[in-house]
Amino acid sequence: MIGAKVKVNGDIISSEDLLVEGEVSGTITLTDNELVIGTSGRVEANVTAKTVRIEGEVKGDIDGGERVVICASGNVQGNVSAPRVMLEDGGRFKGSIDMGSSKAAATAKPAAAPAATPDVRSIDKAS
């Protein structure tokens, strides 16, 4: 764990799961393990891990071998690549997501509320 009062400048390579509650600038690589950016975690780094869970802030690209989860308190600016990317309502994301291999990740869709009665006044086709 990187505690809330710890700042790291540089590259982190780990073969254990890691919880970041402090600040990290550089890169984080946990190829076969889970990375959690905790609610107080502030990461400005490119991140590679088997699974990535973001409850704090990340600026940088995220490569998740299995999945990336942006939690309700999470804020991500960067590009995400993973077979499964999940976003909790309230989580903020700005950037690109490569969904090329995520078809299998589609699960039950939320039930849609009944649509408002269509109140269409006109339709036109521009010439």
Partner 1 sequence: MVGLPGRKAGGPAPIPPLSSRLLPIALDEKRLEQIGTLNILDFGRANSASLEFFNQYPCRLCVLDAAEPLLAWSRELGERMEEPPSLQQMQLELSGVLSAIGEHRYDLVFLWDTLNHLHEHALPAFGGLLRRHVTKHFRGHGFMLHKRGAEQQLRQLGLIGSEQIAVHSQLATPLFAHNRKIVNEALGSELRIDQGVLHGDGRLEFLMVSGRS
Any contact of residue 115 with partner 1 (CB under 8 A)? yes
Please identify, using beta-carbon distances, which residue of 10 and 113 lies nearer to partner 1: 113
Cross-strand pairs, 25:
9, 44
Q: Is 84 in the site for partner 1 (CB under 8 A)?
A: yes
Q: Is 85 in the site for partner 1 (CB under 8 A)?
A: yes
**Smallest distance from partner 1 to CB 122, Å:** 5
Q: In terms of Cα–Cα distance, which of 54, 95, 61, 96 is closest to 75?
A: 54
Q: Residue 19 or residue 99: which is nearer to partner 1 going by CB? A: 99
- Judged by beta carbon, residue 5 or residue 109, the one nearer partner 1 is 109
First to last CA, the chain: 63
Q: Give yes or no for a contact between 76 and 60, defined as CB atoms under 8 angstroms apart.
A: no
Q: Is 124 in the site for partner 1 (CB under 8 A)?
A: yes
Report how far Cα 64 is from the mean position of its chain's Cα atoms. Answer: 9
- The region of 2-10, 17-25, 28-36, 116-124 touching partner 1 under the rule CB under 8 A is 116-124
**Rounded distance between C-alpha atoms, residue 50 and residue 46, angstroms:** 14
CB 40 within 8 A of CB 24: no
Q: Residue numbers of the site for partner 1 (CB under 8 A)?
A: 69, 72, 77, 84-100, 102-103, 105-107, 109-110, 112-126
